[in-house]
Amino acid sequence: RWEINPAPHTADGKTYVAQNPILNGPTAFVEADSWYKRDNLGAFGPSLGLAYSPNFDKGILGNFFGGVGKSAIRLGYRIAYDPISTFQVTAAAGRVPGLLLTCSSTLPTPTAPNGTTTPGCAAAPNVTIGNGFPTQLAAPTVKPSSFLNLPLQLNVNAPPITVFDPSLKLPTVHQWSASFQRELPLKMVMQASYVGRRGMRLYFAGNRNQINADSILPSYALLQQNFRNNCLPAGNGPLFPNDPLRPCVNPVTNIPILAAGTGITAATVNSSAAQNEINPLNNAAGSFAERIENNTLFFRLRPNQQFSSITYIDNSGDSNYHAFQFTLRRRFAQGLGLAVAYTFGKSIDNQSVDPVGAASGGGLSTTNSRTPTDLRNLNEEKARSDFDRTHVLNVTAVWELPIGRGKTFFGDSPGWLNQIVGGWTVNGISTYMSGEPFSVRSGVRTSNAAHESRAVVLDPNLKAKLQELPGTPGPVFFPNANGFAIPLPGQNGSGRNIFVAAGYYNLDIGIIKQFSITERVKLDFRTEMFNVLNRPNFDNPRDASVGSPSVRSSVFAQACCTTVAPPSTQAIIQTGESARVIQFALKLKF
């Protein structure tokens, strides 16, 4: 297979791209023929297969392979490619400088008496509600084309942008397999397989312009020291002026972040919102860094201060999958059919979220535990995939009961008796899956402004386990958050997906009674029972409809559910199996 994937371009053959690497700082935008350079003309995708049927009919090998034509060995290998989605290109096109201008304006505040406004845009009208809420801003005084060389702007006013890596490559997936199949007695066939997949240069989308707190951590530590000593963070007064029992002691006033010319004043760090970020119980250095970037350009906490966020689509994605698969099938004969399938596997990646959604903003948020905590440390994200299930077992069976005319029992029964005891069929589907992995979030942005960090696990033996908690609807995985802590300022917490949620089990059974009206007309009466054991299945806190993986949430570790109408597959697994459902049906065949 050869599938050409040319680099996308606009209808007139021209678009605008960054003249210099956009992540290295300020850059101008110039006309280009395409969004990125590569056309991927060498994307050949071969598929190779080999099958061999041993013909040993004697000795040990004859017994093992079952004789001539009774077994088969198969090998397979293929390369597949993932062409870029037009949805991703559309998301980027809507944010290209020179084609679009986004205006942002804020009202005056104590820390910004004149408010803030995107250069070239009108300021927000400073009116009271009594005078009517303004419906729109005044028209900009500049054209979008004048922003091909954007000025540096405060984070709160800077526009977002979505760009492609200029050297974007076509994601490649290598797939291979080896299997052994053998015919067994009793009309059974067994197959054992190994399958593997390697995803290389997969599409990845993330905010590469994340605000990082590293350079201001020394000042942040001094602000926290003042807070601990009952002083205002800036050290210019007591934190509790009306409480003589909590005096301000040993205040630190020589704090680098407050030096003249930085654009940060005591009022900025002493505000109630800033105090909440500085509080040592929170360690919200990432949120505090965002506050700094919203007020000054001095510290350059963003790699490129022309933009707020830079959703950068590149090939940082990586994945691995290995699995052993075993199947045992009995073809339907003499009234019995059976299939057993078991998979023991493991999937590893560095991001499980769909990059198409991320490219449009759907996957990137400060609280989404499926997206990376810190793009500077992407290696920390390599872990079990969000959807990984180590064990999966499926059993299906159909059995026509050997009762009735022409069968083992009551084989010569008269017509009226055969209508009662004959024509019965029982079928069932049993599914078991081990739980999905999940991460526990701290609920605080301790390292950067783009994402909450993961919580620090205090007990290395701590495991997620369904348990009852008085006063809480449904079970919880942890009784409280005592086994976790907020990371220190600048740190990202414990590893990704180190906890495993509860498994999933379901049993569906059907009973069919067939009545013979004439030789050509049959009537089936069906009784179908879904979740026949009435067993609840609870999802992990990340996906549960009521629950959160954040230790700061009031519903932390809850697993409870919303019921859905079966039969279903993924919907049931995600939201919790409904109670037992029994339905009846009539089917006329002629």
- Indicate whether 280 and 415 sit together in one domain: no
Give the integer Cα–Cα distance in Å for 6 and 165. 15
pLDDT given for residue 142 in this prediction: 74
Residue 329 in contact with residue 338, Cβ under 8 Å? yes
- Indicate whether 556 and 415 sit together in one domain: yes
> Per mean pLDDT, which of 97-111, 202-216, 265-279, 352-366 is the most reliable?
265-279
- Indicate whether 288 and 379 sit together in one domain: no
Domain assignment present for 41? no
> pLDDT-based confidence at 30, cuts 50/70/90?
confident
- Indicate whether 287 and 420 sit together in one domain: no
- Number of Cβ atoms within 10 Å of the Cβ of 326: 14
Phi, psi (deg, nearest 5) at residue 257: -65, -20
- Indicate whether 376 and 289 sit together in one domain: no
- Indicate whether 242 and 387 sit together in one domain: no
Where is the domain boundary, 293, 321, 343? Answer: 293
pLDDT given for residue 565 in this prediction: 40
SS3 call for 556: strand
SS3 call for 165: coil
SS3 call for 6: coil
Where is the domain boundary, 238, 268, 293? Answer: 293
Domain assignment present for 127? no
H-run or E-run covering 421: helix 415-421
According to DSSP, the β-strands at 71-81 and 172-184 are antiparallel
Residue 309 in contact with residue 209, Cβ under 8 Å? yes
Residue 205 in contact with residue 364, Cβ under 8 Å? yes
Please choose, from the candidates 95, 107, 116, the residue with its C-alpha nearest in 3D space to the C-alpha of residue 307: 95
pLDDT given for residue 64 in this prediction: 82
pLDDT given for residue 356 in this prediction: 59
Domain assignment present for 341? no
pLDDT in tens, 448-498: 998 999 999 999 899 999 999 888 888 899 999 999 999 999 999 999 999
pLDDT given for residue 394 in this prediction: 97
Please choose, from the candidates 433, 434, 410, 437, the residue with its C-alpha nearest in 3D space to the C-alpha of residue 423: 410
Print the domain residue range for 377: 372-589
- Indicate whether 459 and 573 sit together in one domain: yes
- Indicate whether 286 and 389 sit together in one domain: no
Number of structural domains, the chain?
2
469 or 284, which is more confident: 284
Across residues 24-40, what is the average pLDDT?
78
Across residues 26-37, what is the average pLDDT?
78
Domain assignment present for 493? yes
pLDDT given for residue 14 in this prediction: 66
Domain assignment present for 432? yes
pLDDT given for residue 12 in this prediction: 63
DSSP code string of 168-225: ----EEEEEEEEEEEEETTTEEEEEEEEEEEEEEEEEEEETT--B-GGGHHHHHHHHH
- Match 């069929």 to its residue by tokens: 425
Say which range, 46-55, 526-535, 556-565, 580-589, has the weakest mean pLDDT: 556-565
H-run or E-run covering 419: helix 415-421
Average pLDDT, the chain: 87
Answer yes or no: is pLDDT of 360 > 50: no
pLDDT given for residue 563 in this prediction: 42
445 or 367, which is more confident: 445
Cα–chain center distance at 201 = 18
pLDDT given for residue 107 in this prediction: 74
> pLDDT-based confidence at 545, cuts 50/70/90?
confident
pLDDT given for residue 23 in this prediction: 87
CA angle, 201 then 202 then 207, to 5°:
105
Answer yes or no: is pLDDT of 126 > 90: no
pLDDT given for residue 362 in this prediction: 43
- Indicate whether 262 and 380 sit together in one domain: no
Where is the domain boundary, 293, 326, 352? Answer: 293
Domain assignment present for 298? no
| CB hemisphere CA count around 519 (13 angstroms) | 0
According to DSSP, the β-strands at 383-384 and 391-400 are unpaired
157 or 16, which is more confident: 157
- Indicate whether 417 and 535 sit together in one domain: yes
Tokens of 306: 């022309």
Q: For helices 285-293 and 217-228, what crossing angle results, to 10°? A: 110
pLDDT in tens, 227-263: 999 999 999 999 999 999 899 999 999 999 999 999 9
Answer yes or no: is pLDDT of 116 > 80: no
Answer yes or no: is pLDDT of 414 > 50: yes
Please choose, from the candidates 562, 558, 559, 567, the residue with its C-alpha nearest in 3D space to the C-alpha of residue 506: 567
- pTM of the entire predicted model: 0.83
pLDDT given for residue 130 in this prediction: 67
Domain assignment present for 140? no
- Match 């707190």 to its residue by tokens: 213
Domain assignment present for 40? no
Across residues 324-342, what is the average pLDDT?
95
Please choose, from the candidates 521, 448, 478, 423, the residue with its C-alpha nearest in 3D space to the C-alpha of residue 208: 448
